[in-house]
Amino acid sequence: MHYNQLGPSGLFVSELCFGTMTFGGGENFDIVGKVQQEEAETLLARAFEAGINFLDTADTYSKGNSEIITGQALRNLGVNREEVVIATKVFGVTGSSPNQRGSSRNHIMDGVQNSLERLQMDHIDLYQLHGFDPATSIEESLQALTDLVRQGLVRYIGVSNWAAWQIAQSIGISNQHRLEKFVSTQAYYSLVGRELEREIIPMLHSHNDMGLLVWSPLAGGLLSGKFTRDQQNSEGSRRNDSDFPPVNKERAYDIIDTLAEMASQKKASVAQLALAWLLHQRAVTSVIIGTKKIHQLEDNLGAIDIVFSEEELQTLNQISQIPSEYPGWMTDIWSQARTEQLKNVRHPRS
């Protein structure tokens, strides 16, 4: 297991992060997973044994039960708090009141106390805004998060599912008002969903390599190896009930065909190759895996041992490349001469 620096911070996290969205179940979360306490402890014990030191959850997962199970599992397993990095989130609907949602100071302050109680902890390592709130100014949210850091309740702050311009604006506000800066963003990224490369990844590189945490790296199970062009349904997969994240299916099956052929040659699984491709991307800090069964976890763990040749990476990049959109294609045409010029510079800018 490799450990990567979380953005510009001094915190190091494992390249695979264990996501606990599968813990708890109930109502809409049954299709994601219904892992209960004993099963959760079995999965987490194996994850820790493999070197994973990073756990991700959220206050809305299974209406808070994911946090409860996670916190109790750490206690039951006797895990030293200093040996694990705990990330959770605030933003989603947690009650019927109009103030029990969003990124207002009110909801953030209530949310952190509730999450700490469920997790049975005195601090959260990475506290993330789960979405962008159009009803609350970024400054208000950042001021509340800064206060939490100064109170010692939160160590680092991040976002999830924000656009590049929103993140860039937050950095400007943090600089202007001397507020805490987001060290990471959590976003969807996979071989069948590379839209992140249009704006967000270039923005991350331009801001001190802000950390990127990847959710749904197997595209909701589509890249699990259970699906092919001829087998578009799989028993037990949430893709059967929830076609999410949305993908271009025709392009996806072309990619799956290539992965299956490569997996056969490398004596690996399709899922392992899909995860390993992400681990080979410079922008990626950690890939969040969410498993329900121990055999799924074992398979996912095998991704860290996959090594691609340059030719294999080129094959996967070409088959999964997203179509260029304006202004991207115009930038490529207009900047080509300067890009070639940079190749001859001894110390080119990254």
Q: Active-site residues: which are they?
A: 61
Q: Look at residues 22, 66, 63 and name the one whose alpha carbon lies nearest to residue 297.
A: 22
Write out the two tokens for 133.
């709130």
Q: CA 248 → CA 58, 190, 259, 322, 339, distances in Å?
A: 28, 12, 16, 10, 31
Q: What is the largest CA-CA distance in the chain?
A: 60
Q: Look at residues 236, 142, 239, 241 and name the one whose alpha carbon lies nearest to residue 183.
A: 142
Report the distance separating Cα 206 and Cα 190, nearest Å: 22
Q: CA 149 → CA 52, 79, 109, 158, 254, distances in Å?
A: 25, 24, 12, 12, 46
| Cα Rg, the chain, nearest whole Å | 20
Q: Which residue has the tokens 């207002």?
A: 104
Report the distance separating Cα 257 and Cα 222, nearest Å: 12
Report the distance separating Cα 262 and Cα 270, nearest Å: 8
Cis peptide before 348 (omega within 30 of 0): no
Write out the two tokens for 165.
């311009």
Write out the two tokens for 256.
């799956």
Helices (H), the chain: 37-49, 65-76, 105-119, 138-151, 164-177, 200-206, 249-266, 270-279, 294-301, 310-320, 328-343
Report the distance separating Cα 322 and Cα 150, nearest Å: 42
Q: CA 73 → CA 66, 69, 225, 299, distances in Å?
A: 10, 6, 30, 22
